[in-house]
């Protein structure tokens, strides 16, 4: 069986899970405690990060960017990057926005400080980083709201990996109760539409031992 090595709260793993599910490509999940640096996992991905996708024939792809581009080339039904050069440039600009800018300014300051740091044995949350994360979330929710108000989906008229990249970051934060949905009604409406898609079911069913999500986490009408 095709296997995705992941951890449940990794936004990059979530992006790939959504892309696989949207394309109806069957896969099974395997939790990889990448901080333990398992030798067989290091051989698959010297960067020792999740996600890593292993196809049934053993072919392995590391890094969520490489995996998502691979999925669209290997399984072109239900294209997730747009069709024209202009659409594709806009989808990828927004993927970079959410994977890197949103992650550095919001996700990292909250999810890493509150959860991952403990797992990795790197000490206590940094209060200044957390304040910055909440502060930066405001601009980002407004930007998502602006896009959602002016377009059918974040990158244009079709759903794309830009939507899944954004939803992946937000769903990780939503699990720990850290998304201020009241900051933007259009962003909240767009996320409600994302949550009600079949591809989202796996994420909404996630439960991490010892860390329960807030009640609204799995409710599409939140």
**Which residues in this chain contact a second copy in the complex, by CB under 8 A?**
45-47, 59, 61-63, 65-67, 69-70, 73-74, 85-86, 88-89, 92-93, 95-97, 100-101, 143
Residue closer to a second copy by CB (options 69, 206) is 69
Rounded Cα gap, residues 173 and 79, in angstroms: 27
Question: DSSP string covering 11-47, please?
Answer: HHHHHHHHHHHHTT---EEEE--GGG--HHHHHH-TT
**Closest CB 204 distance from a second copy, rounded Å:** 28
Closest distance of CB 127 from a second copy, Å: 19
Counting every residue, how long is the chain?
222
CB-nearer residue toward a second copy: 81 or 217: 81
Q: Which two tokens stand for residue 2?
A: 């095709």
Measured over the CA atoms of residue 101, residue 103, residue 105 and residue 106, the dihedral's sign is positive
Closer CB to a second copy, 59 or 134, in the complex: 59
∠ CA 157-160-165, nearest 5°, is 135
Q: CB 154 → a second copy: shortest distance, Å? A: 13
Taking the least distance from each CB to a second copy, the nearer of 146 and 189 is 146
List b or e across 75-93, with b for residues whose CB sees 16 or more CB atoms inside 10 angstroms.
Answer: eeeebbbbeeeebbebbbe
Q: Which two tokens stand for residue 43?
A: 């051989």
Nearer to a second copy, 15 or 92 (CB): 92
* Nearest-approach distance from CB 121 to a second copy, in angstroms: 18
- Minimum CB distance to a second copy, residue 66 (Å): 4
């Amino acid at each position: 069986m095709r296997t995705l090595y992941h951890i449940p709260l990794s936004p990059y793993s979530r992006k790939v899970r959504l892309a696989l599910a949207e394309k109806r490509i069957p896969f099974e999940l395997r939790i990889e405690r990448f901080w333990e640096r398992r030798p067989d996992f290091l051989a698959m991905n010297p960067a020792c990060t999740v996600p890593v996708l292993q196809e049934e024939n053993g072919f392995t792809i590391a890094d969520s960017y490489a995996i998502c581009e691979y999925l669209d080339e290997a399984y072109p039904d239900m294209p997730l990057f747009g069709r024209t050069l202009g659409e594709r440039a806009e989808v990828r600009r927004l993927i970079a926005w959410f994977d890197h800018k949103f992650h550095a300014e919001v996700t990292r300051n909250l999810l890493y400080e509150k959860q991952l740091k403990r797992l990795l044995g790197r000490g206590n949350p940094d209060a200044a980083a957390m304040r910055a994360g909440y502060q930066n979330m405001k601009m980002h929710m407004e930007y998502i709201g602006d896009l959602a108000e002016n377009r059918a989906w974040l990158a244009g008229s079709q759903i794309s990996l830009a939507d899944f990249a954004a939803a992946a970051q937000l769903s990780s934060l939503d699990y720990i109760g850290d998304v201020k949905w009241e900051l933007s009604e259009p962003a909240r409406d767009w996320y409600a539409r994302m949550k009600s898609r079949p591809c989202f079911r796996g994420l909404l069913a996630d439960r991490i031992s010892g860390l329960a999500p807030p009640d609204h986490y799995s409710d599409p009408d939140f």
